[in-house]
Structure 1
Amino acid sequence: MSGLTEDVAVRLALAARALPEEIETRDLVLGILEAVGEPITSAKLNKIRLGRLKRIDVLANIDESYLKEALNFLKGRNIKREPEPLPEVVDYEDGDMPQSVRVACASNSGDKIDGHFGSCKRFLIYQLSGEEMRLIDIREPEAVDDDEDKNVARAQLIDDCRVLYTISIGGPAAAKVVRAGLHPIKLPQGGCAPEVLLRLKETIAGSPPPWLAKAMGQDPEQRARYREEAGA
């Protein structure tokens, strides 16, 4: 099942397990692929109906009770997942990491950047320099009243950061983030926060673009002097 997202792979595996033993996982996947087309996505699985399952050749003679249970799994229902453990926060005091920048990552699970700015469960807060990276805080947005602006509240929660990584952020929300002093970066495919930030760390250690040098509180001349003094 290469090329499938983790969510789709879990749904297919559990659906196959709910069917009689003579139904191989591979045959189910091929049948689903024929029914919904390539690629198999969560959105496509959500739209499958019982009647469509019955028309898949390998499932044609399977008792409906099995098909209903498999269908629930295909749609992502009744799936209990253990939450990924959160990464460990490391002690940090202002001044510990010279020439560093604070970064917020929109996250729903573990150390992944997999959340939308407006709906993510938490923000992972990293302090990052050219030499070191530390997770210094994990912040969970609180519920806001109907008359409050959720996006403004979220921006204020991370307004000590200068960079925001998120899989998605709307235009109006992005404007509020920028007004709070952050530079939003969209990663539609997401990623593991330490791996993504490692690339930013290497950029900081090398020659950061003007917007990043500014986020670190440096003007271009200051950066050039720093690199000369460091022997770069």
Structure 2
Amino acid sequence: MNNGIITKSAALRIALAARTMDDVDVAALATRIGDHLGLPITEEKLAKLTVADLKLMLSGEETVEPDVDPASLKLAVRQLWGDAGDVENLPKPQPYREGDMPGSLRVAVASNTEENVDGHFGSCPRFLVYQVGRGEIRLIDVRPTFITDEAEDKNSARAELIGDCQIVYVQSIGGPAAAKAVRVNVHPVKTPEGGKSEIALQRLQAVLDAPPPWLAKILGVQAKSLSRFAAEADQ
């Protein structure tokens, strides 16, 4: 539909961008874009927007969270540009049956693009789910988060979406959202620098035999740093 104010394709792009940024009102965002670009709003005009433009439009808007994380802003701009190429580059899960990897952990990764840890917990478009064992890292599922959009509490719904995981890697996460993840026994791990999922998971894999206290608690084993005290107590 083109009603002289916005084209159908431009409206879809704005809706997708608003969904990318947690708690952003679609109508408010469309109004701001219209004020900034002028009417009608077209795909050609949206393609010229930058992250700086979007930050300027969001600032001061009561219906918009004023501190949207940089990763979400970048993804929102890509949505406004109509850049959906990322979907084609998503990794393909490998077959997995329960019990295939004894002693392994299930780990979710908040991802905006490809096989990267570059998502905010509350706005990433998907979680990549891996099984991580001492000898193997296997991607077993890709879970889109749009199914949580209509939930009354989106962060709780996202936590439930990965409730079978013990750990979730995120580039950023707010305190209330972290508490909701912990409530369903999912431990958030921040990686502000982002990067490839495989690198972050290889670091995790490397400490499975000598886990730090937080990981030992998840695994149900004694932390390496505490083992000498236990040995002394047994003497």
State the TM-score, normalizing by the size of structure 2: 0.58
| Matched residue, 1:209 | 212
* Residue 135 of structure 2, aligned match among 128, 131, 134: 131
Distance 1:209 1:79, change over 3 A: same
Distance 1:46 1:151, change over 3 A: closer
The alignment status of 1:162 with 2:166, answered yes or no, reads yes
Q: What is the one-letter code of the residue matched to 2:154? A: K
Distance 1:93 1:172, change over 3 A: same
1:188 Cα offset (Å) = 1.5
Distance 1:86 1:172, change over 3 A: same
The alignment yields a C-alpha RMSD, in angstroms, of: 2.6
Q: Matched residues, percent identical?
A: 48
| Matched residue, 2:125 | 121
How far apart are the structure 1 equivalents of 2:159 and 2:82? 33
Stretches of structure 1 that go unaligned for 5 or more consecutive residues are: 1-41, 49-74, 225-232
| Matched residue, 1:145 | 150
| Matched residue, 1:82 | 85
Q: What is the one-letter code of the residue matched to 1:145? A: E
Whether contact under 8 Å (1:167, 1:189) holds in the other structure is yes
- Residues 59-102 of structure 1 deviation map (CA, whole Å, 9 limit, x = unaligned): xxxxxxxxxxxxxxxx8764646225111211111211122111
Distance 1:78 1:178, change over 3 A: closer
Q: What is the one-letter code of the residue matched to 2:98? A: D
| Matched residue, 2:104 | 100
Distance 1:47 1:200, change over 3 A: closer
Stretches of structure 2 that go unaligned for 5 or more consecutive residues are: 1-49, 57-76, 228-235
Whether contact under 8 Å (2:148, 2:157) holds in the other structure is no
| Matched residue, 2:35 | none
Question: Pairwise mapping of residues 188-203 of structure 1 onto structure 2 (< 5 A)?
Answer: 188-203=192-207
State the TM-score, normalizing by the size of structure 1: 0.59
Whether contact under 8 Å (1:115, 1:167) holds in the other structure is yes
How far apart are the structure 1 equivalents of 2:55 and 2:92? 39
Whether contact under 8 Å (1:162, 1:182) holds in the other structure is yes
1:216 Cα offset (Å) = 2.4
Q: What is the one-letter code of the residue matched to 1:107? A: S
Runs of 4+ in 1 over 6 A off after TM superposition: none
- Secondary structure of the 1:208 match is coil
Q: What is the one-letter code of the residue matched to 2:213? A: P
How far apart are the structure 2 equivalents of 1:163 and 1:208? 14
- Secondary structure of the 1:176 match is helix
- Secondary structure of the 2:106 match is strand
Distance 1:78 1:172, change over 3 A: closer
How far apart are the structure 2 equivalents of 1:47 and 1:158? 30
Distance 1:196 1:220, change over 3 A: closer
How far apart are the structure 1 equivalents of 2:55 and 2:176? 31
Question: Pairwise mapping of residues 13-52 of structure 1 onto structure 2 (< 5 A)?
Answer: 43-44=51-52
How far apart are the structure 1 equivalents of 2:169 and 2:191? 7
| Matched residue, 2:3 | none
* Residue 172 of structure 1, aligned match among 173, 176, 200: 176
| Matched residue, 2:11 | none
| Matched residue, 2:19 | none
